[in-house]
Amino acid sequence: MLPRSDRTIVIHHFGQEPFETSPEDMTALAQSVFPLADRVAGAVGEAFDFASWYGAWRSRHGIEESAAIPTHLKVEAADAFEALIPWEQLKDAAVQYAIDGEHLPMGPIRLYVPNGSSECLNVKHVVACHFIHEEAHRGEVSYGFKSSFSPDDLRKQR
């Protein structure tokens, strides 16, 4: 994984080199924001639509409209929590990037999947997003804490 600051998200997309981005860059690319409560009852803060951001990101990176859409999004949190989310469950997903205009206290962004199959797909302190295309596993969902760690992961825990 690429080195990152506390405010950086690493994006991994099949066919592309991984790169770092920030909540501010993601928000600018999404072009519109809304109160998170508009999509997630009782939630506070500001968010942008995940699908709008992804469409703009694909366009910016020259990915043709006819190119394959991912089958899954895998998100990694700073606390080693991971969720593998089927693409179909992301249609109403929102990315929280601030509360009252201030950075989130628990990391760069938080992903909410309001119509997901589990509340565990709402992941806080997201530090990496992996756009995956695996037709053989379409529809599979998984979440939990990482059970294996690389030497680099262990060094980061110090």
Is 88 a domain residue? yes
- Residues of the chain scoring pLDDT < 50: 1-4
The pLDDT assigned to 107 comes to 81
The pLDDT assigned to 5 comes to 60
Is 50 a domain residue? yes
Identify the domain containing residue 77 by its residue range: 9-146
Is 70 a domain residue? yes
28 token code pair: 């600018």
User: How many distinct structural domains can be found in the chain?
Assistant: 1
The pLDDT assigned to 105 comes to 81
C-alpha distances in Å from residue 10, one per residue of 18, 59, 106, 137: 7, 18, 17, 23
Is 127 a domain residue? yes
Report pTM.
0.87
Is 33 a domain residue? yes
Helix axes 50-60 and 23-30, enclosed angle (nearest 10): 90
